Amino acid sequence: MTSSKELKKQLRKEALGRRDSLDEFWRVEVALEMAETARDHLDVEPGQVVSGFWPMRSEVDIRPLMFALREKGARLCLPAILDKTTIVFRELVRGAPMVEMGFGTVGPHEEAAMLDPSMMLVPLAAFDACGHRIGYGAGYYDRAIARLVDKGTTPRLIGIAFDCQEVALVPDEDHDVIIPEILTESGLRRFAPQL
């Protein structure tokens, strides 16, 4: 019998393989379309803190999307890896120094303000039609979201992916965070809450 961990590892590998095989020029066009979708369908209040992420490998490049949200008044932040278990979110401002964070990504320098996002654009490797997500296996986002909830903040979570990353069923574990919305090239999908 295959364990949940082994099955997630296999699903992650297959979904990332499909994502890696996408044409890179098509991915650029899709990133721009997703920015338009965000501009038209994601409401943000002036000053609302939104966390994004610096794309790595073949991830959706959400920098145009983040720019669209900033144009609507959002205050942006990016994850900063502190250690093997912890990420925090540092403010992203024009002209501020960026540093390497590992995993081929960058983030704001440690002098940047730490913020608690009320909307999070969440990277993922795979997802299913119930909003279950497979991350990259380190659990950074699950722990960061749990910390925010413990502080009394329940951020709006929006997964960011390509349609090809959808799988039939993600094994659900107690510590996994369900992502109620996923933005792909097909648009913004909302999933019914689990009862």
Known binding site: residues?
A: 8-12, 59, 133-141
- ∠ at Cα 56 (74, 174), nearest 5°? 80
Number of C-beta neighbours around residue 74 at 10 A: 25
The binding site for ATP comprises 8-12, 133-141
Strand partners, 77: 51, 91
Separation between Cα atoms, residue 100 and residue 104, nearest integer Å = 7
Residue 39: partners with Cβ closer than 8 Å, 6 or more residues away: 68, 69, 71, 72
Reduce the DSSP state of residue 90 to 3 states and report it. Answer: strand
Nearest to 51 by CA among 112, 138, 133: 112
Q: Are residues 145 and 179 in contact, defined by beta-carbon separation less than 8 angstroms? A: no
The binding site for substrate comprises 59
Q: Are residues 91 and 112 in contact, defined by beta-carbon separation less than 8 angstroms? A: yes
Nearest to 141 by CA among 150, 153, 133: 133
Q: What are phi and psi of 149, to 5 degrees?
A: -60, -40
